[in-house]
Amino acid sequence: MTGTLGFRAAAPGSQPDNDSPDYGSTRLRHPTQPLLRFAHTITEATGPRFSPAQFPPLADMSTVDGKAALGERIIVHGRVTDEDGRPVPQTMIELWQANAAGRYHHPGDQHDAPLDPHFRGAGRVFTDAEGWYRFVSIKPGAYPWRNHPNAWRPNHIHYSLFGAGFATRLITQMYFPGDPLLPLDPVYNAVPDPAHRQRLVAMFDLAATQPDWALGYRFDIVLRGPAATPMENAGPEHEA
Amino acid sequence: MTPATAAQTIGPYWHLIDDPALADLTRFGAAGTRLVLAGRLLDGDGAPVADACVELWQASPAADERFPGYGRCATGADGGFRFVTLKPGPVPGRGNTLQAPHLALNILARGILTRLYTRAYFAGEALNATDPLLALVEDPARRASLVASPDGPDGWRLDIRLQGPGESVFIEI
Ligand SMILES: [Fe+2]
């Protein structure tokens, strides 16, 4: 594995701290000991590959069995790049979200809002050779949660991405511009630097809007880029 | 340079993208020594974390069409997770080092904003004594949190404690 690169450390303020007291569920779920510092090896620098043959794309979440889900139809597109601006091609993106009423098609969600038989809320797309992705859905509704009195999650779509290595794994959420709940949301606010927080908010994209059919949004994602210095000679040839 | 997009919690409804088949890395018929890794995920009160996503990655044996190298498992009501995979061999470390056989584990859950990363090593492996990561953990009790114990013919057990007494070692990634 000579020449294998590790990935860059997180920029200060760009990632949330797991010890975020305003988000109550972190209280018993964050480690209190410092993380062990250990330079990336083949284990962290490599990662899984997913093929559309084994993980079939589902790029239209707005219909089930040919019947349209209720709600405001949206087109979400964007580009996945690394920190150096290089496209991340053919990487799998998993998506999940609440329906237009703010309810997940999930047994654990008991919010008093209707389920929609024509909306399941799970999707999967792959980036193209230039890192672009696109999917169709409906705008998810806000939903209440028990974090604090009168707590509501802003409208959001959950994203799961892999990138080039296990170190580039990213689970995040896309938000919508102008949402009045954003400044009140402890999950969103857990990102320390407001400039990086703001990057979780998609842009309304008139050019991506399809007339008489759906509003367009653009959400670009940056995955960690290669560290500046190459990994040292990895030594013995143990390709076990 | 644009820093990586911020992580957010996977939340309690991530099962919408789950497929229980992903916990079995041998499902495509890969040949090798079968290994079952099971354990429980516990919070700072010692209570089970029942809504988590545990992910596994191994650089050895090398992933190919029959062996994905990657697994995902939802924890159950008791915080339990279970992977069926192939036993990894040693892999190179930095410099002239050799890493003992290990599995990489991500812990994602409601209440975890940025994934927690740890490893599972295997008790009794001679290379554990010289593994460059284990060598960094001086406290034997903490080091033990990274080492699975044998449990049956091909079974291994590793509980993961997010916080408090017996807190697992989590690794910067
Ligand atoms: Fe959500």
- CB spacing of B13 vs A29 below 8 angstroms: no
Whole-number pLDDT of residue A228: 75
Q: How far is B64 from chain A (nearest CA, A)?
A: 9
Q: Do the domain assignments include residue A3?
A: no
User: Total domain count for chain A?
Assistant: 1
Q: Which residues of A touch B63 (CB under 8 A)?
A: 48-49
Burial (CB count within 10 angstroms: exposed 0-12, middle 13-18, buried 19+), residue B80: middle
Q: Do the domain assignments include residue A10?
A: no
- Using one digit for the tens of pLDDT, what is the confidence trace for B134-144? 999 999 999 99
Considering only CB atoms, B3 lies closest to which of A14, A29, A44, namely: A14
- CATH code, domain with A183: 2.60.130.10
What is each CA distance from B100 to A36, A77, A240, B116, B128, in whole angstroms?
17, 42, 11, 21, 5
Q: Do the domain assignments include residue A128?
A: yes
- Identify the CA nearest to B23 among candidates B61, B79, B72, B80: B72
Task: Kindly state the tokens that stand for B76.
Answer: 């159950």
- Using one digit for the tens of pLDDT, what is the confidence trace for B1-55? 999 999 999 999 999 999 999 999 999 999 999 999 999 999 999 999 999 999 9
Whole-number pLDDT of residue A229: 58
pTM of the model: 0.95
Q: Do the domain assignments include residue A114?
A: yes
Look up the domain containing A59 and give its range.
50-222
Task: Kindly state the tokens that stand for B13.
Answer: 């409804």
Task: Kindly state the tokens that stand for A63.
Answer: 């219909």
State the Rg of chain A over Cα: 19
Position B15: which residue type? H
Task: Kindly state the tokens that stand for B121.
Answer: 């090593």
Q: Which residues of B touch A233 (CB under 8 A)?
A: 95-96
- Touching check for B46 and chain A: CB below 8 Å? no
- Interval between CA B1 and ligand 1 midpoint (Å): 30
Q: How far is A34 from chain B (nearest CA, A)?
A: 8
Q: Which residues of A have a catalytic role annotated?
A: 104, 143, 153, 156, 158
- Interval between CA A157 and ligand 1 midpoint (Å): 7
Low pLDDT (below 50) residues in chain A: 1-3, 230-240
Q: Do the domain assignments include residue A6?
A: no
What is the value of ipTM here, to two decimals?
0.97
- CB spacing of B13 vs A235 below 8 angstroms: no
Burial (CB count within 10 angstroms: exposed 0-12, middle 13-18, buried 19+), residue B29: exposed
- Touching check for B155 and chain A: CB below 8 Å? no
- CB spacing of B173 vs A83 below 8 angstroms: no
For an interface test with B, the pick among A29, A104, A116, A158 (most B C-beta atoms closer than 10 Å) comes out as A29
Q: Do the domain assignments include residue A106?
A: yes
Burial (CB count within 10 angstroms: exposed 0-12, middle 13-18, buried 19+), residue A160: buried
Q: Which residues of B touch A23 (CB under 8 A)?
A: 9, 111, 113
- Using one digit for the tens of pLDDT, what is the confidence trace for B107-131? 999 999 999 999 999 999 999 999 9
- Using one digit for the tens of pLDDT, what is the confidence trace for B54-84? 999 999 999 999 999 999 999 999 999 999 9
For an interface test with B, the pick among A8, A30, A58 (most B C-beta atoms closer than 10 Å) comes out as A30
Whole-number pLDDT of residue B43: 98
Position A121: which residue type? G
Contact predicate B52/B13, CB 8 Å: no
Domains within chain B, CATH numbers bracketed = 6-161 (2.60.130.10)
- Touching check for B133 and chain A: CB below 8 Å? yes
Q: Do the domain assignments include residue A26?
A: no
